[in-house]
């Protein structure tokens, strides 16, 4: 059997847009991905539908897999001929144990590549408005582990060198040892008034910061119950934050949104919410299998109704594959939503909304929708694909929901409500408990009715079911108690 290959990939600090192009390409071709807690799970959605996921997450008090087991998995999967990605938060060479994993692969002569990533020690401060170097404030920068594998976890660092010789210091994994850090920096020469900032979940929409000095920051952290994952930054350059802070000024900063998903394709709504500074979890994840279509009679229909952009894409992909000239399809085209109309326009086709359609015997419904079949009982139905819950993602979502603090729920369509509830139940999560006291927003009156019918009584609706209207509504109706 031919030996596979391993890519040791840095996922970046959290914001999915910060992964490298080479790292993303590795994920797309992977057959097995071993991923860490600090690698954004949304990156796994770029993998193929048959890719195997293995969680290697580490918490301060427990490890899902020990490093030796991770090394063994990498070797075993590669020797089985697989393309394997080891996905690590930040950069794999900065406290990522990539040297140990590469050595294990080299021992078995397994080919591998190391793909660098953006380190959280640089990215998290920048998202907090702090460059780690500056000509007037900081000419040197160090990254330091604040926890080692000794019994007490307190690394024997060159405290005098750090205190007197380095302007900006980024400590990784150090919240538990913060008093130890501050005491030693002061003891060896750093002024007690030196600014310190902790950046929690840096570059995520859930990012939080806590600022103090070497003299008082430990007490502040205890009072605020600040925890890992956090970067601790020490240095005078932190003073620039007041002038150039930018991420926290985004209009939806502080929003942690759960978005009900019906599509298997990337959500334009989720993308816009992320651009505006929100943290977005799309749930659930769907797995789609295309069905071979018989299009021999397609030119005989007078009306064709597409139920979703995906159905339209699958239909026209089959048209091309079967070498049917689209000009021979004379039917009047209809769509269930403005999003589906847009998908038709992108193919140079003009359609109308389904509200304008009249039932007809020479009508084709492209897509499986029981409600439509009830309203249009004369029409024929063409199912283009089978869509099922991707259960491999359920434990991933469980972890995501535990680590986030959801404050906003969005239902983009009436069809999104029931599948969302069913999928949450499969995760052993009670939807009403999860969303109790949260802001629930429905995109349109039909969606609101479906949400209320599901038990969400205080559902809100923007002026129109569009991305722009939703963002404006969220900005104009801020959450109470959200830190800005």
Query: Is 36 an active-site residue?
Result: yes
Each residue's pLDDT tens digit in the chain (484 positions)? 788 999 999 999 999 999 999 999 999 999 999 999 999 999 999 999 899 999 998 665 555 688 999 999 999 999 999 999 999 999 999 999 999 999 999 999 999 999 999 999 999 999 999 999 999 999 999 999 988 777 677 888 999 999 999 999 999 989 999 999 999 999 999 999 999 999 999 999 999 999 999 999 999 999 999 999 999 999 999 999 999 999 999 999 999 999 999 888 788 899 999 999 999 999 999 988 899 999 999 999 999 999 888 899 999 999 999 999 999 999 999 998 888 899 999 999 999 988 778 777 799 999 876 656 567 778 889 999 998 999 999 999 999 999 999 999 999 988 899 999 999 999 999 999 999 999 999 999 989 999 999 999 889 999 998 899 999 999 999 886 444 3
Placement of tokens 């009715």 in the chain: 449
Tokens of 188: 């060896």
My answer on whether 230 and 281 are in the same domain is no
Q: Which domain holds residue 16?
A: 5-118
Q: What is the CATH number of the domain that holds 450?
A: 3.40.50.10090
My answer on whether 274 and 414 are in the same domain is yes
My answer on whether 307 and 166 are in the same domain is no
Q: Which of 118, 145, 163 is the last residue of a domain?
A: 118
Compute the distance between CA of residue 417 and CA of residue 390 in angstroms, rounded to an integer.
17
How big is the CA angle at 218 (ends 216 and 223), to the nearest 5 degrees? 100
Could you tell me which of 113, 116, 114, 180 has the C-alpha nearest to residue 145?
A: 180
Query: Is 382 an active-site residue?
Result: no
Residue 482 lies in a domain: no
Per-residue b or e along 145-180, where b marks 16 or more CB atoms closer than 10 Å to that residue's CB: ebbeeeeeeebebebeebbeebbbbbbbbbbbbbeb
Compute the distance between CA of residue 322 and CA of residue 25 in angstroms, rounded to an integer.
30
Q: What is the CATH number of the domain that holds 144?
A: 3.30.950.10
Residue 134 lies in a domain: yes
My answer on whether 326 and 407 are in the same domain is no
Query: Is 58 an active-site residue?
Result: yes
Per-residue b or e along 326-341, where b marks 16 or more CB atoms closer than 10 Å to that residue's CB: eeebebbbbbbbebbb
Q: Which of 388, 408, 433 is the last residue of a domain?
A: 388
Instruction: Choose the catalytic residue: 22, 42, 58, 250.
Output: 58
My answer on whether 420 and 324 are in the same domain is no
Instruction: Choose the catalytic residue: 5, 77, 88, 173.
Output: 173
Instruction: Choose the catalytic residue: 5, 15, 36, 303.
Output: 36
The number of distinct structural domains making up the chain is: 4
């Amino acid at each position: 059997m031919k030996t596979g290959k391993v890519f040791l990939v840095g996922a970046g600090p959290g914001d999915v847009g910060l992964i490298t192009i080479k790292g993303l390409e590795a994920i797309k071709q992977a057959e097995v991905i071993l991923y860490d807690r600090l690698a954004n799970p949304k990156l796994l959605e770029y993998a193929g539908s048959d890719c195997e996921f293995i969680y290697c997450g580490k918490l301060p008090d427990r490890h899902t897999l020990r490093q030796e087991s991770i090394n063994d998995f990498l070797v075993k999967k590669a020797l089985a001929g697989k393309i394997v990605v080891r996905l690590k938060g930040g950069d794999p060479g900065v406290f990522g144990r990539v040297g140990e994993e590469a050595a294990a692969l080299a021992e078995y002569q397994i080919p591998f590549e190391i793909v660098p990533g953006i380190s959280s020690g640089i990215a998290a401060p920048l998202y907090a408005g702090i460059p780690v170097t500056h000509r007037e404030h900081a000419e040197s920068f160090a990254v330091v582990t604040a926890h080692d594998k000794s019994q007490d976890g307190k690394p024997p660092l060159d405290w005098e060198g750090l205190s007197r010789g380095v302007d900006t210091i980024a400590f990784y994994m150090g919240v538990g040892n913060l008093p130890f850090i501050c005491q030693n920096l002061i003891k060896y020469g750093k002024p007690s008034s030196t600014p310190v900032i902790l950046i929690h979940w840096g570059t995520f929409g859930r990012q939080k910061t806590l600022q103090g000095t070497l003299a008082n920051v430990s007490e502040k952290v205890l009072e605020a119950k600040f925890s890992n994952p956090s970067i601790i930054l020490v240095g005078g350059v932190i003073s620039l934050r007041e002038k150039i802070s930018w991420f926290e000024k985004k209009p939806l900063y502080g929003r942690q949104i759960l978005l009900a998903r019906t599509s298997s394709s990337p959500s334009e709504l989720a993308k816009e919410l992320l651009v505006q500074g929100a943290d977005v979890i799309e749930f659930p994840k769907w797995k789609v299998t295309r069905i071979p279509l018989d299009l021999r009679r397609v030119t005989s229909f007078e009306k064709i109704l597409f139920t979703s952009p995906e159905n339209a894409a699958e239909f026209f992909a089959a048209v091309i594959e079967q070498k049917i000239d689209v000009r021979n399809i004379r039917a009047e085209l209809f769509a269930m939503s403005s999003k589906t109309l847009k998908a038709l326009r992108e193919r140079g086709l003009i359609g109308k909304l389904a509200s304008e359609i009249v039932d007809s015997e020479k009508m084709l419904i492209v897509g499986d929708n029981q409600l439509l079949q009830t309203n249009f009982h004369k029409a024929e139905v063409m199912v283009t694909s089978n869509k099922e819950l991707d259960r491999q993602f359920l434990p991933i979502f469980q972890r995501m929901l535990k680590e986030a603090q959801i404050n906003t729920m969005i239902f983009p369509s009436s069809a999104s409500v029931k599948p969302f509830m069913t999928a949450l139940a499969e995760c052993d999560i009670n939807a009403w408990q999860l969303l109790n006291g949260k802001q629930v927003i429905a995109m349109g009156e039909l969606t609101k009715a479906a949400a209320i019918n599901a038990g969400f009584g205080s559902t809100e609706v923007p002026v129109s079911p569009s991305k722009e209207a939703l963002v404006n509504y969220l900005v104009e109706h801020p959450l109470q108690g959200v830190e800005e």
